[in-house]
Chain A
């Protein structure tokens, strides 16, 4: 059976490795290379300019605006999504009291879960289009249409530079919560009921149960959630590109790195500069993920 082993291995690996090497590995390697050039896509020879792109980036006010927006998203997107999702997951799983000594979910918990999860299935670009209508500044918008019924003035969700980024953040939360409700529910479901019962015997209240049992036993799932949402906070391209006024506006109030990379690459043909931004984005994402895992490290409780 030794015979034909290597031809088989090579035969199975060659196509996937070739596709992956061409479109992914080669692209990432070239991105680092390009970030040290001033290439604009036309000249045949490429000039290496050292760290000039990065120095320019450092003095680019739009870049710093984008960073600020990522910081805001990085704090509030995970925070809001996880708090809401934990809250709902807890209600779904132990909201119904107990029967026969077993904690129970509220009635219809499956139905709620199905509804909550649905937005996850929709493309962000689609969600962005829906919400650019929901937020419409005139009475054709869902929210302003309702407000008008009560005689309240229109709120300029996307045109007001103080509101625009928060409005976009709200859409991300709207879409994300259901996914994490399902994820946390699965985690909560795997916590043995005896632990709850034992704690309840000792007189633990519902909130004690939540903070002393559910939360610590769910820690590793929470970590994963935080990293996922953090990575999503470094993206937000689809929403900003579709929803925001003037793509990233008003006056740069919603711009994100992804959008700036896209713009520099395809609108201004600044290939080198766009790649430099990509490199920064890569290191930011990596630092964030490593930091999160390091800071939140705890001795996991093995059941």
Chain B
């Protein structure tokens, strides 16, 4: 079986085949073809890799430059002196630190809420028969078919009526609500795959339904929970439309989340032509992502593709 593929790809289709020809063709010509192809593959892949990294490196480099340097020096030139001036102004004047903390606060609560309520609903829908089960399930799943833009105006009005406009409570509840369809859809499918005998044994031992859920079923669903938690953290952290629609009005700037804050810095940096501070702000929001990604890239990849791979 050794070098089977190598052999054949070296033999042009239609070549007369006789015993022995394969073997002799396999070694030199085949190897060469493979080397050529893999060389070409590396070049193509490296070019795309470069295209992906270049803008990010450029942003980080520029964050250490002065405003004039950004204009006069080549894009990838090293900064003449390591200046943290731009970071200072990004942190104090542009409030990147505040936006960052706001985002952490909101996402910590909203993802926790999404996971608790989402898995509670999914568990009941997956493993208990009752009147209206299918109806509630489809109600949740149908949410996947609607674009959020459709709900934008009514959502604004609902929050206004509840006095939740421009509040963290409102934003967190909305994040949870709009994350539920996918979370319920995914977790219902997951809870259905869990074996019955463990649950039955726990019930025989006298565990209540609530205890069964928290102490037996949830731990068994750990791998699904991890994927979907990552999916929700990334999705909610990156949310832009919802905060832009909800966090507006008096004093909203103090409550902005990171995406909103950065987008706004970009606009105001244009007026003041203070690009260095913008690059510093961008770097401050990209670098933590790179660090988190470096540690958890496997989990993050599988979490984000969980929905599509099904």
Q: Is the CB of B149 within 8 A of A197?
A: no
Closest beta carbon of chain A to B8's beta carbon, Å: 5
Q: Tell me how far the C-beta of B294 lies from the nearest C-beta in chain A, rounded to whole angstroms.
A: 9
Binds B, one of A57-65, A154-162, A179-187, A291-299: A179-187
Interface of B: prevailing SS = helix
6 new A-B contacts at CB < 8 Å, known A12-B124, A126-B262: A13-B120, A98-B5, A125-B260, A125-B262, A134-B58, A200-B4
Question: Within B257-272, which residues are at the interface with A (CB < 8 Å)?
Answer: 258-260, 262-263, 265-266
A33 to B6, CA, bound (A): 65
Complexed CA–CA distance, A77 and B297 (Å): 26
Is there a chain A Cβ closer than 8 Å to B285's Cβ? Answer: yes
Contact A97 B37 (CB under 8 A): yes
Complex alpha-carbon distance, A128 and B240, angstroms: 11
B51 in the interface, Cβ–Cβ < 8 Å? yes
Q: Is A303 an interface residue (CB 8 A)?
A: no
B155 touches A97 (CB 8 A): no
Task: State the 10 A-B residue pairs at the shortest beta-carbon distance, nearest first.
Answer: A95-B41, A123-B238, A97-B34, A101-B1, A30-B154, A23-B177, A278-B150, A98-B5, A27-B151, A145-B75
Residue numbers in B under 8 Å from A241 (CB-CB): 244, 263
List residues of chain A with CB within 8 A of the CB of B180.
16, 19-20, 24
Q: Say which size band chain A's interface belongs to.
A: 35 or more
B49 touches A116 (CB 8 A): yes
A219 touches B (CB below 8 Å): no
- A interface SS class: helix
Q: Residue B178 at the A interface, CB < 8 A?
A: yes
A→B interface (CB under 8 Å) = 1, 4-6, 8-9, 11-13, 15-17, 19-20, 22-31, 34, 41, 84, 87-88, 91-92, 95-98, 100-101, 103, 106-108, 112-126, 128-134, 138-140, 142, 145-146, 149, 174, 177-179, 182-183, 186, 196-197, 200-201, 203-206, 221, 224-225, 228, 231, 234-235, 237-238, 241-242, 257-258, 261-262, 265-266, 271, 274-275, 277-279, 281-282, 285-286, 289
> Whole-angstrom distance between the alpha carbons of A140 and B74 in the complex?
9
Chain B: minimal CB distance from A169 (Å): 15
The answer for the CA separation of A112 and B45 in the assembled complex, in Å, is: 7
